Amino acid sequence: MTVLVIGASSQVGHFLLPRLDAAGCEWIGLSRRPPAGDPHWLCGQLPAGMPRVPAVSAILSSGPLDQFATWLTNTRLEGTPHIIATSSMSAESKRESDVPHERELSQRLRDAETRLIATCASRGMPWTLFRPTLVYGAGMDHSLTPIVRQAARRHVFPLPAGRGARQPVHADDVAAAFVAALGTARGRGKTFSIGGGERLTVAEMFRRVRRSVGVATLPAPVPRFVLQLAAQFRPALRGSLDRFDSDLIADNADLESVLDIHPRPFHPDPSTWRGGH
């Protein structure tokens, strides 16, 4: 089996390639900046900067779903490869957001899912979609890693109040789900939610992140009224801050029963936040 991995240098791709090797799959990685001289890699960018794709058994994409769906719809592929891609739980969690650009993101994701499924159906290609929660684990995320690195520089860690539940999922568990979907016929034609193996409050999530920084930091509690003020003066942050008291979780029941994937609980260590680890 030969598969094309789009987003091979992403945080999911970082763990996916070794898992494909271990499973005996040949892979072709696609990246905007592939390693020089490595025949396993192609240079390309979604949606318009893609090279010609050779015949493959599957295409695995952990990149932006809307761009991937646009490319897939406009490209004739050889054969009927299995299409496996990530969307996001934001497709649902931000559907009713008070922030316009978040509602637009939710709609864009759902439209992309619909286009991908319709394209696959019209061409007889099997498909599997994953909707992960907050993904972490390779020091490449834009949510927790920047906070950790800033705290390590300043030796101060903000601890915002928040009663909402969170379920961070390790990028390696998403990669494991991709590989499981490749080998499980029952996973075809399904959309799987995928969250971490533990649900914890926003406040507890940040406390654990602080313990994993790797250097001493001064805890700086951020009361709820401060978050409310910040949301008023920084409209771009309003959606994220307003959701600190809302649950952003996933139901892993189908993931576990169909694909036998059981994501790990949230216990990060300092290596979690270093790029390339």
Residues 6+ apart with CB under 8 A from 64: 46
Burial class (CB in 10 A: 0-12, 13-18, 19+), 242: middle
If you write DSSP's letter for every residue of 121-134 in order, what string do you get?
HHHT--EEEEEESS
Tell me the domain boundaries of the chain.
2-273
Residues 6+ apart with CB under 8 A from 232: 238
Q: Contact 159/210 with Cβ under 8 angstroms?
A: yes
Q: Contact 140/275 with Cβ under 8 angstroms?
A: yes
Distances (CA, A) of 237 to 101, 106, 107, 142, 244: 11, 16, 19, 14, 11
Q: Does domain 2-273 have CATH number 1.10.10.10?
A: no
- Report DSSP state, residue 271: G
Q: Hey, what amino acid is at 272?
A: T
Chain centre to alpha carbon of residue 84: 13
Four-CA torsion 199, 200, 201, 204, nearest 10 degrees: -160
Residues 6+ apart with CB under 8 A from 66: 108, 109, 111, 112
Q: Contact 112/91 with Cβ under 8 angstroms?
A: no
Angle CA(276)–CA(214)–CA(160) in degrees, nearest 5? 100
Q: What is the pLDDT of residue 239?
A: 63
In whole angstroms, give the CA distance from residue 212 to residue 76. Answer: 46
Q: What is the pLDDT of residue 246?
A: 86
Listed as ranges, residues in the chain with pLDDT below 70 are 231, 233-239, 276-277
159: left (phi over 0), alpha (psi -120 to 50) or beta: beta
Query: Which of these, 111, 260, 250, lies nearest to 193 by C-alpha position?
Result: 250
Q: What is the pLDDT of residue 277?
A: 44
- Residue carrying structure tokens 């996973």: 187
Q: How many helices (H) and strands (E) does the chain have?
A: 10, 13
Q: What is the pLDDT of residue 236?
A: 61
Residues 6+ apart with CB under 8 A from 166: 133, 134, 199, 200, 201, 202, 205, 248, 249
Q: Hey, what amino acid is at 23?
A: A
